[in-house]
Structure 1
Amino acid sequence: MQYRRFGRTEIPMPVFSCGGMRYQFKWQDVPAWTIPQNNQRNLEATIRRAIELGINHIETARGYGTSEVQLGRILPLGDRDRLIVQTKVNPSQNPNEFRQKFEQSLRNLRLDYIDLLGIHGINDAETLHQTIRPGGCLELARQWQAQGKVRFIGFSTHGATEIITQAIATNEFDYVNLHWYYINQVNWEAVAAANRHDMGVFIISPSDKGGMLYKPPQKLVELCSPLSPMVFNDLFCLSHSQVHTLSLGAAKPQDFDEHLKTLEYLDRADEILPPILARLEQAACDSLGEDWVKTWQIGLPRYDETPGNVNISTILWLRNLAIAYDLTEYAKMRYNLLGNGGHWFPGNQAKQIEQLDLRSCIANSPHADKIPAILAEAHKLLSGAEVKRLSQD
Structure 2
Amino acid sequence: MRRTALPERRPFGSGPAVSPFCLGTMRATGSAEQMAAVLRAAVAAGINHIETAPAYGTAEHFLGLALAELRQEQPERVADLVLTSKLLPGLGLAEGQAQLRQILQRLGIERLDNLAVHGLNRPEHLDWALRGAGAELLRWALDEGLVGQVGFSSHGENGLIEAALASGRFQFCSLHLHWFDQQRLPLAQAALKAGLGVLAISPADKGGRLYDPPATLLADCAPYVPLELAYRFLLDQGISCLSLGAAQASDLALAAALNPSGEAWLGPEHRLALETLQQQGLARLGAEACHQCQACLPCPMGVPIPALLRLRNLDVGHGMHAFAEERYNLIGRAGHWWEERNASACERCGDCLPRCPHQLPIPDLLADTHQRLASAPRRRLWG
Measure the CA separation in 2 of the matches of 1:270 and 1:327.
26
Structure 1 equivalent of residue 242 of structure 2: 246
User: Where in structure 1 are there 5+ consecutive unaligned residues?
Assistant: 26-38
- The answer to whether 1:52 aligns with 2:44 is yes
Measure the CA separation in 2 of the matches of 1:14 and 1:199.
15
Pairing partner for 1:187 from 184, 187, 202: 184
Measure the CA separation in 2 of the matches of 1:361 and 1:293.
15
Structure 2 equivalent of residue 327 of structure 1: 320
SS of 1:391's equivalent?
coil
TM-score, normalising length from structure 1? 0.89
Structure 2 equivalent of residue 106 of structure 1: 104
SS of 1:11's equivalent?
strand
SS of 1:100's equivalent?
helix
SS of 1:142's equivalent?
helix
Q: Show CA shifts across 1:128-155 (max 9, x none).
A: 111111x431331221122121011111
Structure 1 equivalent of residue 210 of structure 2: 213
Measure the CA separation in 2 of the matches of 1:72 and 1:211.
31
- Give the drift of 1:102: 2.0
Structure 2 equivalent of residue 262 of structure 1: 258
Residues 110 and 266 of structure 1: CA distance in aligned 2, closer, same or farther (over 3 Å)? same
The number of aligned residues is 371
Residues 127-146 of structure 1 mapped to structure 2, 5 A cutoff:
127-133=125-131, 135-146=132-143
2:374 aligned partner, one-letter code: S
1:60 aligned partner, one-letter code: T
- The answer to whether 1:5 aligns with 2:10 is yes
Structure 1 equivalent of residue 160 of structure 2: 163
Structure 1 equivalent of residue 146 of structure 2: 149
2:375 aligned partner, one-letter code: G
4+ aligned runs moved over 6 Å, structure 1 = none
Is 1:181–1:237's contact at 8 Å kept on the other side of the alignment?
yes
Structure 2 equivalent of residue 85 of structure 1: 83
The range that moved more, 9-18 or 322-331, is 9-18
Residues 187 and 157 of structure 1: CA distance in aligned 2, closer, same or farther (over 3 Å)? same
Q: Show CA shifts across 1:39-84 (max 9, x none).
A: 2212101111211222121110111111011111122342342211
Structure 2 equivalent of residue 14 of structure 1: 19
Pairing partner for 1:223 from 220, 223, 229: 220
- Give the drift of 1:362: 5.2
2:210 aligned partner, one-letter code: L
SS of 2:22's equivalent?
strand
The range that moved more, 69-78 or 293-302, is 293-302
- Give the drift of 1:281: 1.7
- Give the drift of 1:311: 2.3
- The answer to whether 1:125 aligns with 2:119 is no
Structure 1 equivalent of residue 378 of structure 2: 387
The range that moved more, 101-110 or 143-152, is 101-110
Is 1:165–1:193's contact at 8 Å kept on the other side of the alignment?
no
- Give the drift of 1:368: 6.2
The range that moved more, 262-271 or 147-156, is 262-271
Q: Show CA shifts across 1:222-253 (max 9, x none).
A: 11122111111111111122x11111111011
Measure the CA separation in 2 of the matches of 1:213 and 1:188.
19
Q: Show CA shifts across 1:199-241 (max 9, x none).
A: 0111110000011011101111111122111111111111122
Q: Show CA shifts across 1:334-389 (max 9, x none).
A: 00000112211122112353xx2432355422356611111111101001111232
Residues 203 and 266 of structure 1: CA distance in aligned 2, closer, same or farther (over 3 Å)? farther
User: Where in structure 2 are there 5+ consecutive unaligned residues?
Assistant: 1-5
Is 2:172–2:198's contact at 8 Å kept on the other side of the alignment?
yes
Is 1:156–1:178's contact at 8 Å kept on the other side of the alignment?
yes
Structure 2 equivalent of residue 29 of structure 1: none
Aligned-residue sequence identity (percent) comes to 32
Structure 2 equivalent of residue 377 of structure 1: 368
TM-score, normalising length from structure 2? 0.91
Residues 105 and 296 of structure 1: CA distance in aligned 2, closer, same or farther (over 3 Å)? closer
Residues 346-385 of structure 1 mapped to structure 2, 5 A cutoff:
346-351=339-344, 353=346, 356-360=347-351, 363-366=354-357, 370-385=361-376
2:328 aligned partner, one-letter code: Y
1:346 aligned partner, one-letter code: E
- Give the drift of 1:312: 1.6
1:373 aligned partner, one-letter code: D
Structure 2 equivalent of residue 306 of structure 1: 300
- Give the drift of 1:299: 1.4
Is 2:35–2:66's contact at 8 Å kept on the other side of the alignment?
no
Measure the CA separation in 2 of the matches of 1:81 and 1:259.
22
Is 1:235–1:265's contact at 8 Å kept on the other side of the alignment?
no
